[in-house]
Amino acid sequence: MTEEINKCIEVLQNGGLILYPTDTVWGIGCDATNEAAVKKVYELKQREDSKALICLVANDAMLERTIEDVPEVAYDIIDLSTKPTTIIYDNPKGVAKNLIAADNTLAVRVASDKFCRYLINKFKKPIVSTSSNISGRPTPKSFNEIDSVILKGVDYVVNLQPEQKSAVPSVIIKLSNDGTVKIIRQ
């Protein structure tokens, strides 16, 4: 696993794209602080950059470096969730501008997958995580379902088969600083 992490970090540091197993589905990833890399993700997915992408962090400390003011309830949601949960926060900071939604929000998930946590910890920055499909097409439930356009479009494909998971996208909850909680995807 260390070799795979080192290869990924080299690609990420050079503004490249990786295809990697996450705590949900196989994801396309890049350095979340690199605007040019984020643009490549939108282009590969053939997706408008007005549709925001998810960002993975390794722990609460990295979350706090990425979001201006993390609402207290977020920690309860993260700790009590029984499945991967992405939270949309107000006022992100330190990430690529084209990763931030028009309403100044950012979707962030604290990774629960061991490979992802190790990778993000060693990279020391958030990583983009978006499903490995062309926009509008179904999310692949396994590596074998990933479109060849995606496989050819990334700079590195992680050579690890993840532990068998449910392979479903994360729950998405929007937490506004005014206390509003809204479930976007269950």
Q: Secondary structure of the chain in the HEC alphabet? A: CHHHHHHHHHHHHCCCCEEEECCCCEEEECECCCHHHHHHHHHHHCCCCCCCCEEEECCHHHHHHHECCCCHHHHHHHHHCCCCEEEEEECECCCCHHHCCCCCEEEEEECCCHHHHHHHHHHCCCEEEEECCCCCCCCCCCHHHCCHHHHHHCCEECCCCCCCCCCCCCEEEEECCCCCEEEEEC
Total structural domains in the chain?
Answer: 1
Question: When comparing pLDDT for 158 and 162, which is higher?
Answer: 158
Q: Which CATH number does the domain housing residue 137 bear?
A: 3.90.870.10
At 52, list the tokens: 């925001």
The pTM is what? Answer: 0.91
Tokens read off for 172: 């998405």
- Please state, rounded to an integer, the average pLDDT across all residues of the chain: 91
| φ/ψ of residue 122, rounded to 5 | -70, -35
Query: 134-144, pLDDT tens digit by residue?
Result: 988 998 988 88
What would the two tokens of residue 98 be? Answer: 């084209």
Q: For 63-108, write each residue's pLDDT tens digit.
A: 999 999 999 999 999 999 888 999 999 999 999 999 999 999 999 9
Distance CA 9, CA 113 (A): 17
CA dihedral 83, 98, 103, 52 (to 10 degrees): -30
Instruction: Give residues with Cβ within 8 angstroms of 85, minimum separation 6.
Output: 77, 78, 109, 170, 171, 172, 173
In terms of residue numbers, what domain contains 181?
2-185
- pLDDT for 171 equals 87
